[in-house]
Amino acid sequence: MANLHFHYGTMGCSKSAQLIINAYNQNKNGNKTEIIKPKIDNRFSEDKVNSRIGISADATTLSSLQDWTPAPDTKMVLIDEIQFFTPEDIDILVRIADSKSIIIMCYGLMIDSNEHIFPASRRLIEVGAKLHRMESTCQIPGCMHLATHHLRYDSAGNVIREGTQIAVGADNYKSVCRKHFNMFYHSTGKGDKGER
């Protein structure tokens, strides 16, 4: 089994839920796990990974992985919202995965709301992490296509096409298929609010 994994998908595809379930099953089988989340992700809790379906798990919150090392008896490390870490943090995970008998499971987004790959996600691809695509359907009513993109909205419901890559919060995002991303992202008139 590969020691470094990247489970990626759009918002709402159950990444956090799968992380929590995976940690639960490993602990139940006697394999100690550590759950890590980035400090910037404080939407639902400061020290827990929370899923929208109502389950949660305690987590260690870190701004960086630079001074972190797993406990000696840890068998698996699960990291939520990996896109909020840095490429240098990914290199630390690579060294741990290659030098210790620890499996590292990263969960997060591949691309931002402007179709750009997050630097940490890109680094996971570059270093050869085993990729696991987690699928969900487009959130435009009536569409059953695969969600591959995110539309980001301002408070008036207009699509945001510029600005910082990292903006925490799920309320102003919608996971959509490529067709609807292109339709609304490149629109300048009626329908900008992501209504079919």
Active-site amino acid positions: 81
User: How many Cβ atoms sit within 10 Å of the Cβ of residue 139?
Assistant: 19
**In the 8-state DSSP scheme, what is residue 102?**
-
Quick check: 121 and 110 in contact, CB under 8 A?
A: yes
CA separation for the pair 14, 29 (Å, rounded): 22
Q: What is the 3-state composition of the chain as percent helix, strand, coil, each rounded to the nearest 5?
A: 25, 25, 50
Burial (CB count <10 Å: 0-12, 13-18, 19+), residue 12: middle
> Which residue carries 């609304």 as its tokens?
184
DSSP codes joined into one string, 28-49: HTT--EEEEEETT--SS-SSEE
Cβ(112)–Cβ(150) below 8 Å = yes
